[in-house]
Structure 1
Amino acid sequence: MTLRFRLLALVCGALSLPAYADGADEAKGLWMAPEGDAVIQFAPCAETASALCGTIVWDKDAGTPADTCGVRIAQLARFEKDAWRDGWVYDPRDDRKYKGVVRAKGNELRIRAFVGVEVLGQTEQLKRVERLPDAPQCKR
């Protein structure tokens, strides 16, 4: 086997692996927003258990007029190939919904919001957290 053939086989094998996500359940859990000002919980949607929903469960502005506790920021219908797809993401900063894709791997979750096609979007990277910060508390 020539070196060129081995390199080609290695590249083809690497390209056949999922790009980022480990599996459908990897996105479930608590995730800290990039600015550290909110925690989003991703879990099955109450009304459609096969879908994934993201809800703000901790907000540094809890109890103030800027409070976003309880706001659903994502709803994605299905997991396919490497990501949760076919749904929307909501940005409370600009009060707009976008098409969305969520990918998770280990302690990182990436939310991609876009209009039209995915390549023309913007990505936010969140970090997994084990528990909510102590204060302030969202009212349930």
Structure 2
Amino acid sequence: MKNLTLFAVFMLLVSSVFAQNHNGILGKWQNPSGEGRIEITKKGEKYYGTLYWLKQPNDENGQPKKDKKNPDETKRSRTIQGSQILEGFTAKENGLYDGGTIYDPKSGKTYSCKMTLKGDKLDIRGFVGLSLLGRTETWTRVK
């Protein structure tokens, strides 16, 4: 009975550490150009990211930038700032998050994506089809 109790406590601690490591991605991140900041949150078992800050949130007319290039016409009138650009990521092992997508408001395109957490750096790899056919950029945690 003592061994069973010790095993249960051990499993509880291991699962707690495992969950904490996966949640290390939560928080605010800045893209390499410094043009945008994204807040990553968790809903259920999936991770999402919202573009909460833009260096230049307004267009040339002083109006909030709209999602004009979105292929979904119903979303073209929404503001880019505040839009969800990361969707549906699942935590794997070794700081990997995959199975999600990233939306690029500059082009209006959505790409398959995987993310790898490396301390206060987050490698974002967007791709079409195979991960080999893509591009990686590194985001930095906002302190």
**Normalising by structure 1, what TM-score?**
0.69
1:86 is aligned, of 83, 99, 121, to 99
Helix, strand or coil at the partner of 2:132 = helix
| 1:98 aligned partner | 111
Q: Per-residue displacement from partner, 1:86-120 (whole Å, max 9, x unpaired)?
A: 12111111110011101112110111100111121
Aligned partners of 1:115, 1:36: CA distance in 2, in Å?
25
Long gaps (5+) in structure 1: 1-21, 131-140
Which of 47, 56, 64 aligns to 2:51? It is 56
Q: CA offset at residue 68 of structure 1?
A: 2.0
* SS in structure 2 of the partner of residue 110 of structure 1: strand
> SS of the residue aligned with 1:118?
coil
Answering whether residue 142 of structure 2 is matched by residue 129 of structure 1, we say: yes
CA RMSD of aligned residues (A): 1.7
In structure 2, distance between residues paired with 1:30 and 1:77: 16
TM alignment of 1:3-42, pairs within 5 A: 23-42=21-40
Q: Is the 8 Å Cα contact of residues 76 and 101 (structure 1) preserved in structure 2?
A: no
Counterpart of 1:27, as a letter, is: I
**Contact 1:26/1:105 (8 A) holds in 2:** no
In 1: Cα distance, 2:133 partner to 2:24 partner? 25
Is contact 1:76–1:84 with CA below 8 Å preserved after alignment? no
Q: Distance in 2 between matches of 1:78 and 1:30?
A: 18
Equivalent residue, structure 2, for 1:44 = 42
The match for 2:80 is 68
Query: Any gaps of 5 or more consecutive residues in structure 2?
Result: 1-19, 66-78
Would you say how many aligned residue pairs link Structure 1 and Structure 2? 106
* TM-score, normalised by the number of residues in structure 2: 0.68
Asked if 2 retains the 8 angstrom alpha-carbon contact of 1:40 and 1:56, the reply is yes
The answer to whether the 8 Å contact 2:127/2:134 transfers is yes
